[in-house]
């Protein structure tokens, strides 16, 4: 009898957890053994957790204990990120660049495999460091991607926390190693790796470090990774202050973003893989300028009913299209790199067979763009339904 009751109780608790989690768009992560709870960001974005009171019913006392911002995490002594534990001081501890292995908890439905890996770098001694997510292209590896693009060195020189997630090799993508993004920035297969959920888990975990500025979380990526940033802009717009896809800008359909997302895209006009003017593979139909215009419309930019106009930037061998006067300063900008192929702008050694490398310093330009965009309170004020 007692045993049956325990089993039943277990099932009920499990069901409640699942419904809580479902209601919260998977953002309601909880530590093993802890009570089901909504995170602050989750409660704030009205799209989820609307009825969390009836579902999760935390006591008032519990609510008052919830942290009101990164500062209040100061009481935490150590933070565990995957298989490493580090001190949670106000400034970033020294960590990486090194691999971290994350054992995805059972209740996050990351199928296929429970162990995921990422490359992490923290800028020792920095307070309120921006956090860049960087996603590699198809069949690349996070560590070589970080060195190929120079992003690792750049992060170290500029006090940036960098996390490069490792994509998974999956039979859902013909055994290619990549992130789960297909046509129109939607997931390629409902049964493939749950990469968005993985990003949510990683972000939630890293944000426990008080030295990370949660208002300055960004996404950049190359090719498949750039397309995945376009997907994250749709699925996690409340967390990403801006995105910068390289050779991979897409406009998600349907775009589920709940705020305007500042966008900076780089694209070679001689890209042999993802053609600048569109009409490529099944996942690459619309042109890059068209994808930009759709983002500009979504971001409420002035003149966004007009196709992008390009202005030459002579010394840099590129031209630029810019939509500004957007909601919350969410500019949409495209750099068309003249003669460049499917490469990371400014990288030392291009990938053989994929065309020329643009000489512009892509990392520096991404940095300048990201630095001008934060998830500030003014952004939220323009979207009162989020609060
Ligand atoms: C964590 O996992 C990574 C990747 O498997 C491994 O390289 C690293 O040595 C591990 N670190 C610790 C502290 O176990
Ligand atoms: C993918 O790998 C599995 C296991 O190695 C193999 O059985 C399968 O045929 C491969 N699929 C493709 C499309 O190559
Ligand atoms: C937006 O949400 C809908 C409904 O859940 C989903 O079908 C669609 O794939 C989502 N969009 C993207 C870009 O993932």
CA distances from 268 to 1, 68, 149, 160 (A): 69, 44, 16, 26
Q: Give the pLDDT score at 194.
A: 84
Residue 211 tokens, joined? 């030295």
Is residue 301 scored above 90 in pLDDT?
A: yes
Q: How far apart are CA 60 and CA 37, in angstroms?
A: 12
CATH 3.40.50.1820 fits 101-386, yes or no: yes
Does residue 334 sit in helix, strand or coil? strand
Does residue 109 sit in helix, strand or coil? coil
Residue 3 DSSP label: H
Q: Is residue 231 within 6 Å of ligand 3 at its C-beta?
A: yes
> Quick check: 138 and 222 in contact, CB under 8 A?
no
Does residue 291 sit in helix, strand or coil? helix
| CA-101 nearest atom, ligand 1 | 2
Q: What angle do CA 19, 22, 24 make, to 5 degrees?
A: 110
| CA-231 nearest atom, ligand 3 | 13
Q: How far apart are CA 182 and CA 248, in angstroms?
A: 12
Q: How far apart are CA 136 and CA 105, in angstroms?
A: 24
Q: Give the pLDDT score at 109.
A: 53
CA distance from start to end of the chain: 47
CA dihedral 375, 94, 99, 120 (to 10 degrees): 10
> Quick check: 268 and 246 in contact, CB under 8 A?
no
Nearest CA to ligand 1 atom 5: 101
Q: How confident is the model at residue 20 (pLDDT cuts 50, 70, 90)?
A: very low
Q: Report, in angstroms and rounded to the nearest whole number, the Rg of the chain calculated over CA atoms.
A: 21
Ligand 2 mean position, distance from CA 175 (Å): 6
Q: Give the pLDDT score at 270.
A: 98
Task: From 79, 82, 93, 99, give the residue whose CB has the most ligand 1 atoms within 8 Å, as the site to mutate.
Answer: 99
DSSP for 225-248, written as a single string: HHHHHHHHHHHSTTT-SEEEEES-
Q: Is residue 30 within 6 Å of ligand 3 at its C-beta?
A: no
Structural element, H or E, at residue 44 = helix 40-44
Q: Give the pLDDT score at 113.
A: 58
| CA-83 nearest atom, ligand 1 | 1
Residue 64 DSSP label: H
Q: Is residue 383 within 6 Å of ligand 1 at its C-beta?
A: no
Q: Give the pLDDT score at 107.
A: 57
Does residue 182 sit in helix, strand or coil? coil
Average pLDDT of the chain? 81
Task: From 95, 101, 104, give the residue whose CB has the most ligand 1 atoms within 8 Å, as the site to mutate.
Answer: 101
Nearest to 138 by CA among 112, 171, 173: 173
Every domain of the chain and the residues it spans: 1-96, 101-386
Q: How confident is the model at residue 84 (pLDDT cuts 50, 70, 90)?
A: very high
Q: Is residue 61 within 6 Å of ligand 2 at its C-beta?
A: no
Q: How confident is the model at residue 62 (pLDDT cuts 50, 70, 90)?
A: very low
């Amino acid at each position: 009898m007692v045993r049956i009751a325990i089993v039943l109780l277990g099932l009920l608790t499990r069901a409640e957890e699942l419904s809580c989690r479902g209601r919260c768009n998977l953002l309601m992560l909880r530590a093993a053994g802890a009570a089901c709870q909504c995170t602050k960001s989750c409660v704030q974005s009205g799209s989820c957790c609307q009825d969390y009171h009836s579902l999760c019913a935390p006591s008032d006392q519990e609510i008052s204990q919830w942290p009101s911002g990164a500062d209040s995490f100061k009481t935490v002594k150590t933070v565990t990120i995957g298989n490493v534990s580090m001190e949670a001081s106000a400034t970033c501890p020294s960590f990486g660049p090194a691999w971290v292995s994350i054992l995805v908890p059972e209740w996050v439905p990351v199928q296929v495999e429970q162990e995921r890996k990422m490359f992490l770098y923290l800028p020792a001694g920095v307070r309120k460091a921006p956090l860049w997510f960087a996603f590699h292209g198809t069949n690349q590896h996070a560590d070589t991607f970080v060195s190929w693009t120079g992003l690792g060195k750049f992060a170290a020189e500029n006090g940036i926390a960098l996390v490069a997630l490792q994509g998974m090799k999956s039979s859902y993508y013909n055994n290619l190693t990549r992130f789960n993004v297909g046509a129109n920035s939607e997931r390629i297969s409902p049964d493939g790796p749950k990469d968005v959920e993985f990003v949510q888990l990683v972000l939630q975990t890293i944000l426990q470090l008080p030295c990370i500025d949660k208002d300055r979380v960004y996404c950049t990526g190359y090719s498949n990774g750039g397309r995945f940033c376009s997907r994250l802009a749709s699925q996690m717009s409340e967390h990403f202050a801006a995105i910068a896809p390289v050779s991979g800008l897409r406009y998600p359909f349907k775009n589920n973003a709940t705020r305007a997302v500042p966008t900076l895209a780089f694209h070679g006009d001689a890209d042999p893989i993802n053609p600048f003017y569109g009409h490529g593979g099944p996942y690459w139909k619309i042109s890059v300028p068209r994808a930009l215009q759709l983002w500009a419309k979504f971001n409420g930019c002035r003149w966004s009913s007009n196709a992008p106009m390009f202005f030459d930037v002579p010394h840099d061998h590129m031209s630029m299209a810019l939509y500004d006067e957007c909601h919350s300063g969410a500019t949409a900008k495209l750099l068309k790199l003249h003669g460049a192929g499917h490469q990371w702008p400014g990288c030392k050694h291009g990938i053989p067979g994929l065309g020329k490398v643009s000489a512009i310093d892509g990392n520096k330009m991404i940095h300048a763009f990201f630095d001008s965009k934060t998830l500030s309170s003014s952004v939220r004020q323009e979207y009162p339904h989020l609060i």
